[in-house]
Amino acid sequence: MNSMDEDVFASPGGDRKYRLDLKRCIIRECDGELAELSYYERNNWATVELQCNRCKKRFVVKVEI
């Protein structure tokens, strides 16, 4: 395992320090539900990849921690 793999956690839950709870698509006309595709913590960042079940658009949210 290399150092980049150390901070990658399986989605959802696990050994997470942080959580980001987004439920609805950010596109106003859509209002679909967001499903979490991936989550990882690396350096000072938590990154969550989400996909809407209605419009199928993908979003990446990066939070500085």
3-state secondary structure of 23: coil
- Strands (E) located in 3-44: 8-9, 34-42
Give the model's confidence band at 1: pLDDT under 50 very low, under 70 low, under 90 confident, else very high. very low
Domain map of the chain by residue range?
Answer: 5-64
- Look-up of token digits 């921690």: 65
Residue 13 confidence (pLDDT):
58
Among 30, 25, 14, residue whose Cα is nearest residue 50: 25
Residue 20 confidence (pLDDT):
86
pLDDT per residue over 7-61, tens digit each?
Answer: 554 445 567 888 888 999 999 999 999 999 999 999 999 999 999 999 999 999 9
Q: Tell me how far apart the alpha carbons of residues 65 and 23 are, in angstroms, rounded to a whole number.
A: 21
Predicted TM-score (pTM) of this structure: 0.74
Residue 4 confidence (pLDDT):
47
